[in-house]
């Protein structure tokens, strides 16, 4: 059940939370962005709540991902440091797959920034398919990311793999990344829900749209409304590609959820020569940004070199992304209504 209340209806809010507690139901809430609060309760409450003072609206036929859905509020924006995701201008996250070393990372961060990146990405804790592959520098890598932020002013996003690491990673990062392989690690999602840092939630590579949004709901229901979704490719039977970027999910998510969604054409293709066009395709599909793996010497990157582009390639992509985004914005008002009405 979703219950919308006025922001100043403190007594009513307390009463609703009490009623939820009496039923052992989880209660979560989100700011609607229009001066009210939407409370989700994990079980239907007595319909009399509608008559409590300050209650504006009750929604009972909402989606299972209640506070992540458009039933709860209009489009969200998420701030990462001073970079805002979801405000109409595509945000570019870029950097190496793995943090390799302090000086190397600072140099890479400066190159990525000069190419148009606004957020630095890089893994310190790496989920690798093989236990023999480089597993990341761990806390040392987090310190390197903090040094790169200091050197460039760019906020940093990095992966957290375990619930017990959330506090540690939150101490260094501006945004927590939950990787594809952990999208359904519910204890990790709950722990990220208790963090004050925004979360980049990557889609499990065989997750459905609903499963993806239910994972976002886990984070939000545990207290953290700042979730950005990331499509990073799904598994099909095709061995020509490491993964297949599923761009359906972008308008698919936007039709039912207010959360920003970005696209990762690096993991989504596995092939660096495909990154450029799939980045543009992601923006054309309506993505709020891109996450791209960049390294000055991709062939010698410690992980994911085959899908990693150079800073020079990034510069060209960013230029074309912004050009495309401007054309789309200019034509949006006249065309979107017609196209969606004919759907
Ligand atoms: C990454 O971003 O480097 C990464 C490991 O991503 P994913 O979880 O999408 O595989
Ligand atoms: Mn990678």
* Residues within 5 A (CB) of ion ligand 2: 97, 304
Confidence check: pLDDT of 335 > 70: no
Q: Is 283 found in the same domain as 148? A: yes
pLDDT band at 330 (very low <50, low <70, confident <90, very high): confident
How many angstroms does the Cα of residue 277 sit away from the middle of ligand 2? 19
Residue 139 resides in a domain: yes
pLDDT band at 54 (very low <50, low <70, confident <90, very high): very high
Domain boundaries, position 313: 78-329
- Minimum-distance ligand 1 atom for the alpha carbon of 98: 3
Q: Is 208 found in the same domain as 147? A: yes
- Bridge partners of 37? 5, 31
- The residue contributing the CA closest to ligand 1 atom 3 is 97
- Residue that finishes a domain, picked among 29, 59, 89: 59
Confidence check: pLDDT of 339 > 90: no
Instruction: Determine the pLDDT at residue 337.
Output: 66
For residue 304, give the 3-state DSSP assignment. Answer: coil
Q: Is 187 found in the same domain as 82? A: yes
Q: Which two tokens stand for residue 67?
A: 């506070």
Q: Is 97 found in the same domain as 31? A: no
Instruction: Determine the pLDDT at residue 186.
Output: 98
pTM of structure = 0.97
Which residue has 């980045």 as its token pair? 279
CB atoms within 10 A of CB 331: 10
User: What pLDDT, in 10s, does the model give residues 197-242?
Assistant: 999 999 999 999 999 999 999 999 999 999 999 999 999 999 999 9
- The single-letter DSSP state of residue 208 is -
Instruction: Determine the pLDDT at residue 95.
Output: 98
pLDDT: is 330 or 179 the higher one?
179
User: What pLDDT, in 10s, does the model give residues 88-146?
Assistant: 999 999 999 999 999 999 999 999 999 999 999 999 999 999 999 999 999 999 999 99
Task: Tell me which long-range contacts 325-331 makes (C-beta under 8 A, separation of at least 24).
Answer: 325/89, 325/90, 325/283, 328/283, 328/284, 329/88
Instruction: Determine the pLDDT at residue 208.
Output: 98
Q: Is 134 found in the same domain as 45? A: no
- Minimum-distance ligand 1 atom for the alpha carbon of 205: 9
Q: Is 7 found in the same domain as 91? A: no
Residue range 264-284: mean pLDDT, rounded: 98
Residue 298 resides in a domain: yes
Count of the separate structural domains present in the chain: 2
Residue 335 resides in a domain: no
CATH code assigned at 190: 3.20.20.70
Probe ligand 1: pick from 156, 179, 244, max atoms within 8 Å of CB?
A: 179
């Amino acid at each position: 059940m979703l219950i919308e209340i006025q922001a100043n209806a403190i007594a009513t809010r307390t009463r609703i939370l009490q009623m939820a507690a009496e039923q052992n139901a989880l209660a979560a809430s989100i700011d609607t962005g229009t001066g009210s609060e939407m409370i989700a309760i994990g079980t239907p409450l007595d319909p009399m709540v509608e008559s409590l003072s300050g209650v504006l609206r009750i929604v009972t036929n909402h989606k299972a991902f209640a506070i992540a859905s458009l039933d709860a509020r209009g489009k969200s924006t998420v701030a990462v440091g001073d970079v805002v995701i979801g405000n109409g201008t595509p945000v570019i996250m870029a950097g190496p797959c793995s943090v390799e070393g302090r000086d190397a990372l600072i140099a890479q961060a400066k190159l990525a920034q000069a190419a148009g990146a606004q957020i630095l990405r890089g893994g310190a804790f790496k989920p690798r398919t093989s236990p023999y592959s480089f597993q990341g520098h761990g806390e040392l890598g987090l310190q390197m990311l903090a040094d790169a932020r200091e050197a460039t002013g760019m906020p940093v996003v990095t992966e957290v793999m375990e619930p017990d690491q959330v506090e540690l990673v939150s101490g260094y990062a501006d945004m927590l990344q939950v990787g594809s392989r952990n999208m359904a690690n519910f204890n990790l999602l709950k722990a990220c829900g208790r963090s004050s840092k925004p979360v980049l939630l990557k889609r499990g590579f065989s997750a459905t749209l609903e499963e993806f949004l239910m994972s976002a709901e886990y984070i939000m229901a545990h207290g953290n409304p700042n979730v950005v979704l990331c499509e990073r490719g799904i598994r099909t039977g095709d061995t020509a590609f490491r993964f297949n970027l599923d761009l359906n999910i972008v308008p698919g998510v936007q039709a039912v959820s207010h959360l920003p969604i970005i696209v990762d054409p690096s993991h989504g293709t596995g092939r660096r020569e495909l990154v450029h066009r799939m980045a543009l395709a992601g923006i054309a599909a309506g993505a709020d940004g891109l996450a791209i793996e960049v390294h000055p010497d991709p062939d010698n990157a410690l992980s994911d070199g085959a899908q990693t582009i150079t800073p020079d390639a990034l510069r060209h992509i960013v230029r074309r992304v912004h050009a495309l985004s401007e054309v789309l914005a200019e034509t949006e008002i006249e065309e979107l209504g017609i196209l969606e009405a004919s759907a």
